[in-house]
Amino acid sequence: MPGQGGTFPPLIDQHCHGVLRTGPEPDVFEGYLTEAHVPQHPDPGPGSPPRGPGGRAGYFDTQLGFAVRRWCAPELGLEPHCPPAAYLERRAELGTTEVTGRLLRASGIATFLVDTGLPGALLTPGELAETAMAEAHEIVRLERLAERAADTARDTHSFLAELADSVRESACTARGFKSVVAYRCGLDLEPTPPGTSAVYAAADRWLASRVRGGRLSDPVLERHLLWSAVRTGLPLQLHTGFGDPDLRLDRCDPLLLTDFIRATAPYEAPLILLHCYPYHRGAGYLAAVFPHVHADFGLTLTHTGARARHVLAELLELTPFGKLLFSTDAYGVPELYLTGARLFREAMTSLTGQWVERGEWSPSDAERVTAMIAGGTAKRLYGL
Query: Which of 278, 371, 379, 384 contacts its own copies by CB under 8 A?
Result: 278
Query: Which of 227, 242, 331, 344 contacts its own copies by CB under 8 A?
Result: 242
User: Of 239, 244, 245, 242, which is closest to residue 257 (Cα–Cα)?
Assistant: 239
Comparison of 206 and 227: residue with beta carbon closer to its own copies: 227
Count residues binding its own copies (CB under 8 A).
80
Let me know: does 180 contact 147? Beta carbons within 8 Å: no
Window 65 to 124, contacts with its own copies (CB under 8 A): 66-67, 69-70, 80-81
Within 13 A of 80's CA, how many CA atoms are on the CB side? Answer: 5
Comparison of 102 and 323: residue with beta carbon closer to its own copies: 323
- 227 binding its own copies? (CB under 8 A): no
Note the helical H segments in the chain.
Answer: 26-29, 63-71, 84-94, 96-106, 125-132, 142-152, 156-173, 181-184, 196-209, 219-232, 258-264, 280-289, 299-304, 308-318, 335-357, 363-371, 377-382
CB of 50 to its own copies, least distance (A): 5
Query: Which of 87, 227, 277, 297 contacts its own copies by CB under 8 A?
Result: 277
CA distance 33 to 294: 27
Query: Which of 11, 12, 16, 57 contacts its own copies by CB under 8 A?
Result: 57
Window 339 to 368, contacts with its own copies (CB under 8 A): 355, 358-362, 365
Window 180 to 219, contacts with its own copies (CB under 8 A): none
Window 249 to 268, contacts with its own copies (CB under 8 A): 249-250, 253, 255-256, 258-259, 262, 268
How would you label 230-242 residue by residue, b for 16+ Cβ within 10 Å and e otherwise?
bbbebbbbbbbbb
Measured in degrees and rounded to the nearest 5, phi and psi for residue 330 equal -60, 145
Q: How many CB atoms lie within 10 A of CB 273?
A: 30
Window 323 to 342, contacts with its own copies (CB under 8 A): 323
Comparison of 51 and 157: residue with beta carbon closer to its own copies: 51
CB of 242 to its own copies, least distance (A): 5
Span from 54-62, 98-106, 166-174, 331-339 in contact with its own copies (CB under 8 A): 54-62
Query: Which of 3, 23, 320, 353 contacts its own copies by CB under 8 A?
Result: 320
CB of 160 to its own copies, least distance (A): 28
- 32 binding its own copies? (CB under 8 A): no
User: Of 71, 75, 109, 106, which is closest to residue 91 (Cα–Cα)?
Assistant: 75
CA distance 272 to 165: 24
- The helix (run of H) or strand (run of E) holding residue 136 is strand 135-141
Query: Which of 89, 135, 147, 314 contacts its own copies by CB under 8 A?
Result: 314
CB of 265 to its own copies, least distance (A): 8
Query: Is 15 strand, coil or helix?
Result: strand
Per-residue x/- marks for its own copies, 140-169, CB under 8 A? ------------------------------
Whether residue 278 has a cis bond before it, omega within 30° of 0: yes
